[in-house]
Amino acid sequence: MYRTHTCGELRISDVGKEVKLSGWVQSPRDFGGMTFIDLRDRYGITQLVFNMDDDAVLCEQARKLGREFVVSVTGMVRERSNKNPNRATGDIEIEVQAMDVLNPSKVPPFTIEDDTDGGDDLRMKYRYLDLRRSPVQRNIIFRSNLALETRKYLAGQGFLEIETPFLIKSTPEGARDFVVPSRMNPGQFYALPQSPQTFKQILMVSGFDRYFQIVKCFRDEDLRADRQPEFTQIDCEMAFITQEEILNTFEGLTKYLFKTILGLDFQDFPRMSYDEAMRRFGSDKPDLRFGMEFNELNALTQNKGFGVFDSAELVVGIAAPGAAEFTRKQLDELTEWVKRPQIGAKGLVYVRCNTDGTFKSSVDKFFDEAALKGWAEKMGAQPGDMILILAGEEEKTRKQLNELRLEMGRRLGLMKAGDFKPLWVVDFPLLEWDEDTQRFYAMHHPFTSPKKEDVPRMMNGDHETMKNLRADAYDLVINGVEIGGGSIRIHDRGLQEKNFKLLGFTPEEAEAQFGFLMGAFEYGAPPHGGIAFGFDRLCAVMNGQNSIRDFIAFPKNNMGRDMMIDAPSDIHAAQLEELNLELVKEKEKK
């Protein structure tokens, strides 16, 4: 037997017991007559003591141990004279009587403690060492618990967990596919699923009525902190269901997870239409931990001789609470910040609402105190606030002000960790017109149903009408992060054909790519809908973190590389040969 207890288990009540522990040497500390070692496993850390006077040979052996050696020790639990209140096992230590070195270790390339000196790349290369660090272990354990509780809840609601294939068919819609050449079908490819969307709909046609899966999805996109080429979704679909019931079911799941894992209770989630979210926050995923809502100022600011405002489609501002103290230097810096290409604003107008009731603005030449006071009143700005205004083309200006609002939220410390503000954003547009490519894109995906009342307009309306169709599509947003999204689906062949047509598919293309789904709709497809939660994101948000990487045991870096196994990699010529890739080019030529 390697151990009677774990390194996180022993307490003052265990004093006097003979125990055996196994683990990794965290930090050997040598004090001449005595050597202390912190022994670590995933449950915690226990202090070991070796005494020169008791056993000189053993003590010598302990002094030679390096960091990350794997050892097994037998000894007596005793009370510590100087206790460590920060550690669960801090009241006791083990007086070691015998030790086996199970495996030595090279000196690790970075310290394996809560705070590490290892850079990102190094830690990714030695992921097995990074995974020994307790903050990372806590994340992985959190994830495991979250998955388990998700399964419990959904199983309790009658959902079946059904696997769908990873080797499927490439479709041009959505993000870029990862493709896999098929050896047995020369010149042809599978694609890895961006989501199990069509399969879960087929399962509804088959009568499985409540499906879920905690499932890997693959998207060949550029990477960011909250994006990985492979990521995990809690993917769900329900039949004979309304949007209202779906929202309630997944609000229920969310509340259950926050309650069981974090001990938090929520009120019912507010709902906001897409239009309202865009108007009030310039974003379809507003962070509701703080206010700073948008206020449109066109009426108060235009035709007063200030060209920037006069020529703008939209003049819109926010009142940043308590920011009147910002110095000139800070404001100049903020102006530079909004002018960066990533934000793209032309400039920033500010109005300082002084605590003595006076106002000072960057446009004093054009607007007197009374005018500024009028703006402040319209915006509900208080003495001590700073009004920040952007002007320009409507859509762009809203997006820019959204970025500025978030930045002010960060700078003013309003994005409090541990504060969770969930909401549903509903009534998304069905289609999005893209000026550059002169075509419609599905706002959610091509299987999303328009609202019932919009179906006749969709079937018969003109081009402009299509821009205003609303969908039964919804997102769950927490703290400005899109946690999940879904929709009621089309279950009628004719309507689905029409949608594909609007999205620029020829009937032949639609048939080739999605004929199986439309075919299935002809054999008694029930009304259905569903949702998918980003599981990695949910883990990160529940822990108040931005990066999903820390919640994935083996993540990829920004170039999509796994640094540990060094993938992607070259393959042998013989392997390549078997795939008959040259046939692809020949086919293209024909």
CA-to-CA separations, 445 to 197, 478, 486, 489, in angstroms, rounded: 9, 22, 9, 10
Beta-ladder partners of 478: 422, 481
280 closest CA partner among 378, 377, 386, 401: 401
Shorter beta-carbon distance to ligand ASP: residue 118 or 196:
196
Beta-ladder partners of 237: 211, 530
* Pairing of β 439-442 and β 528-534: unpaired
The SS3 assignment for 338 reads helix
Stretch that binds ligand ASP, among 155-163, 353-361, 530-538, 569-577 (CB under 6 A): 530-538
Give the nearest residue (CB) to ligand ASP: 195
429 to 468: interface string for ligand ASP, x by CB under 6 A: ----------------x-----------------------
Question: Residues 12, 37: contact at Cβ < 8 Å?
Answer: no
Q: Which of 283, 479, 487, 513 binds ligand ASP (CB under 6 A)?
A: 487
Question: From CA 481, how far away is CA 354, in angstroms rounded?
Answer: 34
Stretch that binds ligand ASP, among 7-15, 165-173, 379-387, 481-489 (CB under 6 A): 481-489
| Residue 479 binds ligand ASP (CB under 6 A) | no
Shorter beta-carbon distance to ligand ASP: residue 193 or 409:
193
| Residue 486 binds ligand ASP (CB under 6 A) | yes
From the CB of 483, what's the least distance to ligand ASP, in Å? 11
Q: Which of 530, 539, 549, 550 binds ligand ASP (CB under 6 A)?
A: 530
Stretch that binds ligand ASP, among 15-23, 35-43, 479-487, 559-567 (CB under 6 A): 479-487
Question: Residues 254, 264: contact at Cβ < 8 Å?
Answer: no
Shorter beta-carbon distance to ligand ASP: residue 204 or 390:
204
From the CB of 233, what's the least distance to ligand ASP, in Å? 6
Shorter beta-carbon distance to ligand ASP: residue 537 or 556:
537
From the CB of 515, what's the least distance to ligand ASP, in Å? 20
145 closest CA partner among 571, 539, 582: 539
Question: Residues 474, 269: contact at Cβ < 8 Å?
Answer: no
Shorter beta-carbon distance to ligand ASP: residue 272 or 490:
490
The token pair that represents 224 in the structure block: 């960011």
Beta-ladder partners of 35: 30, 50
- The 3-class SS string of 489-509 reads ECCCHHHHHHHHHHCCCCHHH
| Residue 483 binds ligand ASP (CB under 6 A) | no
What is the sign, positive or negative, of the torsion defined by CA atoms of 224, 229, 233, 238? positive
Q: Which of residues 155-214 bind ligand ASP (CB under 6 A)?
A: 195, 197
| Residue 283 binds ligand ASP (CB under 6 A) | no
The SS3 assignment for 54 reads coil
Binding region for ligand ASP (CB under 6 A)? 195, 197, 445, 485-487, 530-532
